[in-house]
């Protein structure tokens, strides 16, 4: 590698870890390019899920999560990063340029790097144990460090409005055959798949909310979960106790591409911190994929003060819950390109 960049083995090792970032339907819509003095992150338009994500919000958030995962991976390997977001206005798909300097890893760098390999999206019922307010405050601090706000929806009236928005988004998407076809194409994958949502990561039997229409699909407590193809994951054993998951809304002051990219970075930071705390997590992007439900979150949950970017479900997995297998990821060679040097 040239001056200012780690050596090639370090770059490959960091990207191999960073590809475990969460993305919409595990579509992994990103690619990196190696230049003279920096790594460049690009959105991959061929992996844009147009029916699920017509505005490209999930695509940019996914790339932001990848960007933060990469920063964590490089930090653990002894390289601090400096990021220029949207460095080329003429190429909107060029989301970031990352430059590096040597720095000894801190204990937190190593802890977050370890959390990358342990993090899973847990779509099962959580336990009745409450999440301590001190942990919610620390998660909010991690979001603030990325220039975003994390709001815990603890007011009962606001939580009902959030639940109603999730329901409406589920009903509207369920009625769209193009969305249904896209969702089917990206879920129910086999264990050897390197992309998409594996059946092994979706509970075999979701709990179903009482008194709701079938299009709302499965859910726990008051919250509807997105319906995927038939799952194989053993469900959380029923105990008769309530699901005490907290709902957190990640928000930004604006709603442009940079804000969405930063929201993805904050999503990564919060998920890794929660994993390090031992919490189970599940991002809920569905209410942000429909304009009316996104507006409802803005107006009635956030009081019109911020732009909602994604909802997080956070709680404790019961000790009896079986482990969730890691979902597949694309090989490094599929996401890392070297820019040819000019002659």
**Whether residue 100 is found in the same domain as residue 182:** no
**Whether residue 146 is found in the same domain as residue 27:** no
Q: Is residue 222 scored above 90 in pLDDT?
A: no
Residue 12 lies in a domain: yes
Burial zone of 268 (CB within 10 Å; 0-12 exposed, 13-18 middle, 19+ buried)? buried
pLDDT tens per residue, range 78-96: 999 999 999 999 999 999 9
Residue 112 lies in a domain: yes
**Whether residue 171 is found in the same domain as residue 256:** yes
State the CATH number of the domain containing residue 29.
3.40.109.10
The predicted pLDDT at position 1 comes to 40
Q: Are 217 and 229 in contact (CB under 8 A)?
A: no
The predicted pLDDT at position 240 comes to 75
Residue 343 lies in a domain: no
Q: Do β-strands 336-338 and 30-34 pair in parallel, antiparallel, or remain unpaired?
A: parallel
Q: Are 31 and 63 in contact (CB under 8 A)?
A: no
**Whether residue 18 is found in the same domain as residue 109:** yes
Q: Edge-to-edge strands of the sheet including 39-43?
A: 79-85, 94-102, 39-43, 30-34, 336-338
**Whether residue 212 is found in the same domain as residue 277:** yes
How much is the pTM?
0.94
121 Cβ neighbours under 8 A, 6+ residues apart:
22, 201, 281, 282, 283, 324, 327
Residue 126 lies in a domain: no
**Whether residue 301 is found in the same domain as residue 220:** yes
pLDDT tens per residue, range 114-148: 999 999 999 999 999 999 999 999 999 999 999 99
**Whether residue 200 is found in the same domain as residue 288:** yes
**Whether residue 108 is found in the same domain as residue 206:** no
The predicted pLDDT at position 314 comes to 98
Residue 237 lies in a domain: yes
- Cα 146 to the center of its chain, rounded Å: 15
Instruction: Tell me the mean pLDDT in the region 182-186.
Output: 95
Q: Is residue 2 scored above 70 in pLDDT?
A: no
Range of the domain at 301: 133-315
DSSP 300: I
**Whether residue 157 is found in the same domain as residue 251:** yes
The predicted pLDDT at position 341 comes to 53
- Cα 91 to the center of its chain, rounded Å: 24
Give the total residue count for the chain. 343
The predicted pLDDT at position 235 comes to 77
**Whether residue 110 is found in the same domain as residue 149:** no
Burial zone of 214 (CB within 10 Å; 0-12 exposed, 13-18 middle, 19+ buried)? exposed
Residue 141 lies in a domain: yes
Q: What is the mean pLDDT of the chain?
A: 92
Instruction: Tell me the mean pLDDT in the region 177-201.
Output: 94
Q: Is residue 290 scored above 90 in pLDDT?
A: yes
What is the total count of domains within the chain?
A: 2
Q: Is residue 200 scored above 90 in pLDDT?
A: yes
Confidence of residue 173 (pLDDT cuts 50, 70, 90): very high
């Amino acid at each position: 590698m040239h001056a200012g960049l780690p050596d090639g083995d370090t770059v490959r090792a960091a990207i191999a870890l960073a590809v475990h970032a969460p993305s919409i339907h595990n579509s992994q819509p990103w690619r990196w390019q190696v230049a003279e003095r920096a790594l460049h992150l690009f959105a991959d338009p061929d992996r844009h899920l147009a029916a699920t994500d017509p505005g490209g919000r999930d695509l940019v958030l996914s790339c932001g999560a990848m960007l933060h995962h990469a920063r964590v991976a490089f930090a653990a390997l002894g390289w601090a990063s400096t990021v220029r977001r949207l460095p080329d206005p003429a190429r909107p798909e060029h989301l970031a340029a990352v430059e590096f300097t040597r720095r000894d890893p801190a204990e937190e760098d190593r802890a977050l790097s370890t959390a990358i390999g342990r993090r899973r999206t847990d779509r099962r019922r959580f336990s009745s144990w409450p999440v301590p307010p001190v942990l919610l405050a620390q998660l909010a601090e991690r979001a603030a460090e990325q220039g975003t706000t994390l709001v815990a929806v603890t007011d009962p009236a606001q939580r009902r409005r959030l639940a109603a928005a999730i329901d409406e988004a589920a009903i509207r998407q369920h009625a769209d055959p193009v969305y249904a076809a896209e969702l089917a194409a990206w879920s129910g994958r086999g264990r050897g798949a390197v992309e998409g949502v594996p059946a092994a990561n979706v509970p075999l039997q979701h709990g179903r909310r009482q008194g709701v229409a079938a299009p709302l699909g499965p859910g726990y407590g008051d919250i509807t979960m997105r319906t995927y193809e038939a799952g194989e994951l053993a469900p959380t054993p029923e105990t008769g106790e309530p699901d005490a998951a907290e709902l957190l809304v990640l928000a930004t002051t604006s709603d442009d591409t940079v804000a969405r990219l930063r929201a993805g970075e904050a999503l990564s930071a919060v998920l890794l911190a929660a994993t390090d705390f031992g919490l189970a997590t599940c991002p809920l992007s569905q209410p942000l994929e429909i304009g009316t439900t996104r507006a409802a979150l803005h107006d009635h949950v956030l009081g019109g003060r911020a732009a909602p970017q994604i909802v997080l479900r956070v709680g404790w997995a019961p000790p009896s819950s079986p482990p969730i297998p890691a979902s597949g990821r694309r090989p490094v060679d599929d996401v890392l390109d070297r820019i040819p040097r000019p002659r």
